Amino acid sequence: DTAVSQTPKYLVTQMGNDKSIKCEQNLGHDTMYWYKQDSKKFLKIMFSYNNKELIINETVPNRFSPKSPDKAHLNLHINSLELGDSAVYFCASSHTLRGDTSETQYFGPGTRLLVL
């Protein structure tokens, strides 16, 4: 049983297109995250949602819009894709109890996005 799942695993698309990546967790966690891993393997957080509320919004182009329909899902929609958006996008989740941020984040398998 996959704890944090992402679809699709691979996404190849043309510049200018709009695409979405979906994430689901079955761990009962209340906080979900999106991270971007660039070609040099550097990982950086993009967004975080706690109980469907946006709590982290890093300096990310507004072409990127996260949506959390419920606590178990956090989707990432990207408008007008650019070559520089090519990367691996990881979803993660954790349990945040009364603001305690010591809980472990568990990661999905990643979505490899290639923009041509």
Partner 1 sequence: AQSVAQPEDQVNVAEGNPLTVKCTYSVSGNPYLFWYVQYPNRGLQFLLKYITGDNLVKGSYGFEAEFNKSQTSFHLKKPSALVSDSALYFCAVRGSSGNTGKLIFGQGTTLQVKP
Q: Rule CB under 8 A: which residues touch partner 1?
A: 4, 31, 33, 40-45, 48, 50, 55-56, 90, 92, 94, 96, 101-110, 112
62 versus 101: smaller Cβ distance to partner 1: 101
Q: 19 near 10, Cβ under 8 Å?
A: no
75 versus 93: smaller Cβ distance to partner 1: 93
Distance between first and last Cα of the chain: 34
Q: 115 near 14, Cβ under 8 Å?
A: yes
- Minimum distance, C-beta of residue 74 to partner 1, in the bound complex (Å): 14
9 versus 63: smaller Cβ distance to partner 1: 9
Closest CA to 30 of 64, 67, 73: 73
**Rounded Cα distance, 67 and 73, in Å:** 8
- Minimum distance, C-beta of residue 33 to partner 1, in the bound complex (Å): 8
- Minimum distance, C-beta of residue 16 to partner 1, in the bound complex (Å): 27
- Minimum distance, C-beta of residue 29 to partner 1, in the bound complex (Å): 11
**Rounded Cα distance, 47 and 79, in Å:** 16
**Rounded Cα distance, 22 and 25, in Å:** 10
68 versus 105: smaller Cβ distance to partner 1: 105
